[in-house]
Amino acid sequence: MKTEKKLEEILEYFLDYLAVERGLAENTLIAYRYDLAKYLNFLKENKLQSFDCLNREIINNYFLYLKNLGLEINSISRNLVALKMFYRFMWTENFIPEDISGLIEFPRLSKKLPHILSQREIDILLEETNFQGPLGLRDQAILELLYATGMRVSELINLKVEDINIENQMLRCIGKGSKERIIPFGSKAKQSLILYLKKVREKLVKNPQETILFLNSRGKKFSRQGIFYLVKEYTCKAGIDKKVTPHTFRHSVATHLLENGADLRSVQEILGHSDISTTQVYTQVSRKWVKEEYYRAFPRT
């Protein structure tokens, strides 16, 4: 472990392990590579040429290094989680002589409630007049399905035509860790999908063997950035002065379902959360919304 090249080789070995042994998704692997590359840069800048030199002073300095990069506490914590996993892996694979991952401690996280759109804002955003022409019909189907199902962007862009059961208003989704789940969707999403499939998709298809559901103007699968851009475009068009991302739809539908009496376990299943405590965050959002509505409407405040 004396050279920079050797450090990079160990990192690549770790990423191969995550892909093959742990079966992590490509986007997750990219995030691990990005986070750990910062640690390699930190070692290089400080002329540290081995991984087993870790001590509390180095961890504290790395924390300050990440902070100086402009990262928030939650992002710093994520970087340290990746680093801790990396060190445990190196110990089990005998790259370092002892398990020193215990030196890596995490900062106290700030618990931020997810930002959501109100039901009224969703209605404004999904108003039919916002969507013009064939590509507008496609975009409408995408946004309706994002809200109806709470899918992640990676799940949406990988949907295939055969994953959709229009008649029963259900779809098959492959989520994190290649876990499959079945998600229902409402009549608005159904109508939008029917129009897209009948009038638009066949005109976008360049390859008759293509099975991906949503195609861009070049007949290819959407990128994550393409969906982010699409959401931003229609948010601006609807005049909604909020930062809205595809994940905002996920947060919003979860909150709206709970506000309207949905069972917490059902929402957990729909969203594909492995831990129900993740889903419980939305009950806090719901209570916060109720409180805000109360003080907005109650005449004696």
Q: Would you state the pLDDT for residue 48?
A: 84
Q: Is 152 among the residues known to form the active site?
A: yes
CA distance 192 to 189: 5
Q: Would you state the pLDDT for residue 1?
A: 40
Q: Where in the chain is the domain with CATH 1.10.443.10?
A: 119-297
CATH class entry, domain 4-103: mainly alpha
Catalytic option among 190, 250, 251, 256 = 250
DSSP 205: -
Residues of the chain with pLDDT > 70, as a percent, come to 90
* Ramachandran angles phi, psi of 184, nearest 5°: -80, 160
* Ramachandran angles phi, psi of 180, nearest 5°: -95, 140
Q: Is 199 among the residues known to form the active site?
A: no
Q: Would you state the pLDDT for residue 272?
A: 86
* Pure H helices in the chain: 4-20, 26-45, 56-68, 73-92, 119-125, 133-149, 153-157, 187-199, 201-204, 224-237, 246-259, 264-271, 276-297
Q: Would you state the pLDDT for residue 137?
A: 97
Q: Is 6 among the residues known to form the active site?
A: no
Q: Tell me if 73 sits within 8 A of 107, measured CB to CB.
A: yes
Helix/strand/coil for 234: helix
Q: Would you state the pLDDT for residue 113?
A: 66
pLDDT of the chain, 301 residues: tens digit per residue: 444 568 888 999 999 998 888 887 788 889 899 999 999 999 889 888 788 787 888 888 988 899 899 888 878 888 888 898 999 899 999 888 888 888 887 776 556 667 889 999 999 999 999 999 999 999 999 999 999 999 999 999 999 999 999 999 999 998 887 888 999 999 999 999 999 999 999 999 999 899 999 999 999 999 999 999 999 999 999 999 999 999 999 999 988 888 887 888 888 888 888 777 777 777 766 665 555 554 555 455 4
Catalytic option among 176, 221, 224, 237 = 176
Catalytic option among 78, 138, 152, 256 = 152
Q: What's the chain's Rg over C-alpha atoms?
A: 23
Going 43 to 46 to 49 to 55, the CA torsion angle's sign is: negative
Going 223 to 229 to 231 to 234, the CA torsion angle's sign is: negative
**Tokens 């946004």, residue located:** 143
Structure tokens of 137? 């019909």
Counting every residue, how long is the chain? Answer: 301
Candidates 98, 99, 156, 122; CA nearest to 235 is 122
Q: Is 250 among the residues known to form the active site?
A: yes
CA distance 170 to 152: 16
Q: Would you state the pLDDT for residue 298?
A: 47
Q: Would you state the pLDDT for residue 22?
A: 82
DSSP 262: -
Q: Would you state the pLDDT for residue 301?
A: 44
**Tokens 């081995």, residue located:** 50
Q: Where in the chain is the domain with CATH 1.10.150.130?
A: 4-103
User: Which CATH code of 3.40.50.10280, 3.50.50.60, 1.10.443.10, 3.40.50.720 fits the domain covering 119-297?
Assistant: 1.10.443.10
pLDDT in tens, 227-270: 999 999 999 999 999 999 999 999 999 888 888 878 888 888 88
Query: 10 Å Cβ neighbour count for 174?
Result: 17
Q: Would you state the pLDDT for residue 112?
A: 66
Q: Would you state the pLDDT for residue 135?
A: 96
pTM assigned to the model: 0.64
CA distance 99 to 89: 9
